[in-house]
A and B are shown apart, each in its own frame.
Chain A
Amino acid sequence: MNGLVWARRRRTAARFWSQFRQNKAGVFGLVVLALFVLTALLAPVITPDNALSVTRPPGSPLDGPSADFPLGTDRSGRSMVDMIIWGSRVSLTVGFWATFISIAFGTLFGILAGHFGGWGSSLLMRVTDWFLVMPSLVLGVALAAVLGRSLTTIIVAIGVTSWPTTARLVRAQTLAVEARPYIERARALGGGHLHVMTNHVLPNVMPIVLAQTTLMVGSAILTESTFAFLGLGDPTTASWGATIQAARDVGAVSSRMWWYILPPGIAIVLVVLAFTLVGRAIEGVLNPKLRERR
């Protein structure tokens, strides 16, 4: 029995991969992501020990590109290349954790609202709507004030404001799944609420959640850079958005220090685009109707 289940899962995974591989943009996104994840993991190894030190910086402040510093230096004399490498850690961390919060809450509330219905469900959807109209920036500012300026604050602010989208999607999918006859069969055989939700609804909702997850990481990273740019992040972490803000502060715009402004922005675009491409490719595999069109 168990062996059979595993064999089936392996086959499904293999089929998924062979279809995913056909989408060139998706594969490109996956490669870019792998590179960024690798860079983030190896950051302490591939950069010198004093890469982020403000007191003992490797170079002199605001130098243009040179042989030692291919992308120049920032206002403290740190190499821009190292700043980008360390920034990838912040962006990916925030992206993953914020998405985790958002997906966990969204899936939980979406399934509950879809499964139970009635006034509880209506109330839950009202709350969802209320979170939907709330501008995330305002919530971020208020949270930053209460929790202090840190990565956790940004993660919580993004997670808390982005779960309603997932919840609506999951609720719709739950309603569709629950209308199928095999749910009725499970109920007739004595399956309780928990059994139906975890063993029948959840596995069927997961594919759509997976696609949503990948797309959401991208937008979470974009929001993080915005928050950091507005100065809501931890002042000691070198996130990409914070680097752009620092560049604006020292007047990089009017003195046209392109090496200070361009690289962090390009890094953001690459990572967000990579997540979007992978998410769309996954969607395409799961929804054959979409696949023919691309």
Chain B
Amino acid sequence: MADSALPTAPVPQLAQSVRDRSGVRRRLRYYGEKLGGSLVSLFAVILTSFFLFRIIPGDPVRTMTHGRPVTIEQQEQLRREFGLDKPLAEQFWSYLTGVLRLDFGDSFQFNRPVTDLIGERLWPTVLLVGTSVVISAALGLWLGVRGAWNHGSLSDRVNTGVALTLWSVPSFWLGLILIVIFASGAGWFPTSGMESTGVEGWERIPDVAHHMVLPLVTLVAVVYAQYLMIMRSSLLDEMGSDYIVTARAKGLRDIIVRRRHAVPNALLPTVTLIFVNLGFVVFGAVLVETIFSWPGLGQLFYSGLSVPDLPLVQGLFILFSAAVILMNLLADLLYPVLDPRVRP
């Protein structure tokens, strides 16, 4: 659009350099806008996190000291320690400066810095969620490609039907059913946790894998349908294109047309979806981790909600939302690299 508006310059090199410069500016502006938008979103999340959890009633100090003989003076002392007696504005300022230093305060129930707790619980979640994303994306994309290429066939209809049905299944219920059948029933897998006690060294790897099977199956089952559906419809869109007809007319084999021509183009929208999902899937693990007592961030969050453990829940809320924002930003930045047509 902008290019055709340029007057035809007598010296081609000059026009070329003008166009380049405006292109660079346009690109910088695009990236700047995306980055700025993400920062604004992040700041909004930090604000929300503070006020959202102040409106949760319930006295954390009373919950913590529940069932223990404590005097009113001791409770006051605890309140002072946690800074709950200060005015809201002061609490907010110390919260804000703390967040900027990645210091979310001390957890009420564990009596330790939230940052340390998050650090400990991060890897189990990354392991579980990361593996589940890789498996469900691979499975969904593979089935999606197959389904689109033979659309309308029996296997396509069966696959789509199964995927849609599994998508409708509540993850916590599926987890419970799997425990009933395979863990407490058949006894093939452990019912909860991440490792058995007393297992050391290299033995830990098969042990953790053994514990991970059921939570992994649950996560993959409810998520892969999304990848399948988007890959399938995206590939179907490409299949009608002229360049596919050309590739076939050249006499290329079916598998080459599919692998070299159709699938790479159809992958584009799917990549965005994978990134956006990556952000949400961490949060989606709350239920599965709770059901299987997987020692990750989701379970930590669930335990923090019931107290309520304000610093812990605040910290995790910021982390979960930041993950979504970051992944959205990555998708926005990566898309023009992958698809020259939308390059700014």
Contact = CB atoms under 8 A, between A and B. Distances in A.
What's the interface size class on A, roughly? 35 or more
B168 A273 contact: yes
A290 B57 CA distance: 49
A261 B184 contact: no
A146 B191 CA distance: 35
Q: Tell me the dominant secondary structure on chain A's binding face.
A: helix
A253 B165 contact: no
Given A254-B184, A268-B173, A142 B53 contact: yes
Given A135-B317, A145-B58, A273-B165, A253 B176 contact: yes
What's the interface size class on B, roughly? 35 or more
Contacts of B173: 225, 229, 244, 261, 264-265, 268
B283 interface: yes
Contacts of B56: 141-142, 145-146
Nearest to A223: B170
Interface stretch (A34-42, A96-104, A126-134, A183-191): A126-134
B52 A142 contact: yes
Contacts of B287: 226, 229-230
Contacts of A139: 52
Interface in B291-323: 302, 305, 313, 317, 320-321
Interface in B206-238: 233, 236
B170 A265 contact: yes
Contacts of B179: 253
B180 A272 contact: no
Interface string A240-261: 0100100110000110101001
Contacts of B184: 253-254, 256
Interface in B147-179: 151-152, 161, 164-165, 167-170, 172-174, 176-177, 179
Interface string A216-229: 00100010011001
Contacts of B40: 126
Nearest to B166: A269
Contacts of A276: 164, 167-168
6 contacts: A133-B45, A135-B320, A138-B317, A141-B56, A226-B170, A256-B180
The 10 closest A-B pairs by CB, nearest first: A272-B168, A265-B173, A273-B168, A145-B56, A133-B324, A130-B44, A135-B283, A269-B168, A293-B236, A142-B52
